[in-house]
Amino acid sequence: MTSAENKSVTQDDPIAVALRGFGPLGSIAIVIIVASQLLAPLEAVLVLIWAKRSRTPWHEIGYVRPRSWVGGLAIGVTFGIAFKFLMKAVVMPLLGAEPVNQTYHYLVGNEAALMAVIPVMIVTAGFGEETFFRGYLFERIGKLIGRSPGAKALTVLLTSVAFASLHYFDQGLAGAQQATITGLAFGTIFALTGRIWTLMCAHAAFDLTAVAMIYWGLESSVAHLVFK
């Protein structure tokens, strides 16, 4: 179906039109999806339901078939791991962050907790947060302010602040600082590519690398790799 045909079909569906707009129904949908952050990754499921019912083209929330699923996975995992080491060994020490993440310190040597948290990191971070913060918020904000280079830059900034605020409540200032930087990085990549698959893989790899560092008691060692 062409974009013109899709637009015509959507216009014939008043509910779809209302869901894509910012009137009462559209605003209620936004409130429900944002509030579902408390039950992550429910927000991602609701985003997909909203996209389907509003007849929003999947590519507008970043759901684009990659040229290679395996290639995208490999690039994402490699980037996510490298990015986490860069943040832990260079960026966070420069910001004065403590070498140990006290929020997740209970994971040190805790195999039972590790097995429970791994799927959470993959589903909540990789699938849930990327679908919401990059896919959904970029589509909604883009519809409000446009998709010019300046508008995209503002969207990256706004979504990064929102992403950081979510991490402040459980990880404090250091968590918010790290989330701001990762949000800016992931948001910029999404603004440039419009594709979410590799970012999902990168986000999951980033968080799983952090968990591995904690589990094996390597946080302090990595944090002091560059700055003793």
pLDDT tens digits along 177-225:
999 999 999 999 999 999 999 999 999 999 999 999 999 999 999 999 9
**135 in Cβ contact with 47 (< 8 Å):** yes
For residue 78, which of 219, 206, 228, 217 has the smallest C-alpha distance? 206
Predicted TM-score (pTM) of the model is 0.91
Q: Report whether pLDDT(2) > 50.
A: no
Q: Are residues 9 and 104 in the same domain?
A: no
Asked if 140 and 213 sit in the same domain, the reply is yes
Question: Last residue of some domain: 11, 37, 56?
Answer: 56
**193 and 136 in a common domain:** yes
Shared domain for 108 and 209, answered yes or no, is yes
Query: What is the radius of gyration, based on Cα positions, of the chain?
Result: 19
Domain that holds residue 9: 1-56
Any idea which residue has 């446009």 for tokens? 146
Q: Is residue 81 one of the residues assigned to a domain?
A: yes
Q: Based on the structure, what is the number of domains in the chain?
A: 2
CB 48 within 8 A of CB 134: no
**Whether residue 144 sits in one domain with residue 86:** yes
- Reported as half-sphere exposure (CB side, CA atoms, 13 A), residue 77 has a value of 8
Tell me: pLDDT of 6 over 90: no
Residues 71 and 167 in one domain: yes
**Tell me, what's the pLDDT at 1?**
42
Residue at 61 is within a domain: no
Section 7-30 average pLDDT = 85
